[in-house]
Amino acid sequence: MYRIGELAQRFEIKTDTLRYYEKHGLLSPSGRSDSGYRLYNDEDEVKLRFILRAKAVGFSLAQIQELLVIDASRAKWACQDVKGIVEKKVVELEQKIAELTQFRDSLQQLADACCGGPESAEHCSILEALEVRQ
Amino acid sequence: MYRIGELAQRFEIKTDTLRYYEKHGLLSPSGRSDSGYRLYNDEDEVKLRFILRAKAVGFSLAQIQELLVIDASRAKWACQDVKGIVEKKVVELEQKIAELTQFRDSLQQLADACCGGPESAEHCSILEALEVRQ
DNA sequence: TTTGACCTTTGACCAAACTCCAAGGTTTAT
DNA sequence: ATAAACCTTGGAGTTTGGTCAAAGGTCAAA
């Protein structure tokens, strides 16, 4: 059994983060000491590892919550349920990548069109492009 | 001269957004009516177009603020100043794209390793991967 | 015993970019 | 005149994932 500080330290996160996860229903300690201290067991540790792993590959806490629901009663779910969540996330990421890539390309275009030298910005093609009426 | 509602409608944004931009120093109306209504002129309109254009290519409002400072006194700045801001943003975007791509690749790997069928999630390789101790 | 580290709860704060609400004044068209 | 649309201000709320602060109780080592 770990106290909150021990578990937090073990995973290099803040105690406040663990309290936050508890408050938001992600991970509650399996017990409390007589004085009210949170006590986390091995299963709690496994669950925290799960959460942090999922975060590390880009899942939001809400999405992790979904995965945790499945993980809690694995036999009641199918592999396609899990894979569905992951694939949905992949699509989401791909869309965001596409958007950011578009931003990047637009900006690269602007940058390429600019002389970038010490000339006065009076006639800067980037500034012009941002305010032209068309 | 436009009142706030007219300008907002023209650019398909909320009046509250204009008030927000004013409060945060991005765009103040050039005048006020006797009753206190905001009055925006043609220059204000040009400036708003600039802001929205910059937003559309991914600049944050803080970054747009920087660009506006330059735009306000173009002769005092050089093309390289403007280009510098744009190039910095490009780098930022490239880093974010790289991060998201990594997420995507990790998740795609997980998805590929999963049968994704109706089999019980009891031994789901994705769930296993997320909680394995290693 | 003492002291400092640790723990609790509650509620507020932070970031960024809006958006909403309430109370009340102004304008416009009927 | 009337009613509805429009405007003002100030402050709070939303989202997401934390983080901080205050007040006070508990634990462990010296």
Q: Please give the ipTM for the structure prediction.
A: 0.86
Q: Is the pLDDT of residue A134 over 80?
A: no
User: What is the rounded distance in angstroms from the CA atom of residue B134 to the CA atom of residue B124?
Assistant: 17
User: What is the rounded distance in angstroms from the CA atom of residue B63 to the CA atom of residue B28?
Assistant: 17
B1-37 confidence digits (pLDDT tens)? 899 999 999 999 999 999 999 999 999 999 999 999 9
B68-109 confidence digits (pLDDT tens)? 999 999 999 999 999 999 999 999 999 999 999 999 999 999
CA atoms within 13 A on the CB side of B132: 8
pTM for this structure? 0.89
In chain B, the percentage of residues whose pLDDT exceeds 90 is 87
Q: Is the pLDDT of residue B134 over 80?
A: no
Sequence-distant (≥ 6) Cβ neighbours of residue A48 within 8 angstroms: A7, A11, A18, A21, A27, A40
Tell me how many degrees the CA angle A85-A89-A95 measures, rounded to the nearest 5: 150
Nucleic strand C contact set for B 25-54 (CB, < 7 Å)? 33-37
Q: Out of A75, A82, A104, name the one closest to residue B94 (CB).
A: A104
**Cα dist from B123 to A52, A94, B111, whole Å:** 20, 28, 14
Using alpha carbons, select from B31, B130, B45 the residue that is nearest to residue A83. B130
Residues in chain B: 134
B18 touches chain A (CB under 8 A): no
Query: Is residue B55 within 8 Å of B64, Cβ to Cβ?
Result: yes
Query: Is residue B131 within 8 Å of B124, Cβ to Cβ?
Result: no
- Residue A102: pLDDT band (50, 70, 90) is very high
Per DSSP, what are the bridge partners of residue A38? A32
The pLDDT value recorded for residue A44 is 96
- Hey, are the CB atoms on B90 and A82 less than 8 Å from each other? no
A29-60 confidence digits (pLDDT tens)? 999 999 999 999 999 999 999 999 999 999 99
Bases in strand C with any atom closer than 7 Å to a protein CB: 6-10, 16-21, 25-27
B37 touches chain A (CB under 8 A): no
Place of tokens 């991914």: B58
A26 touches chain B (CB under 8 A): no
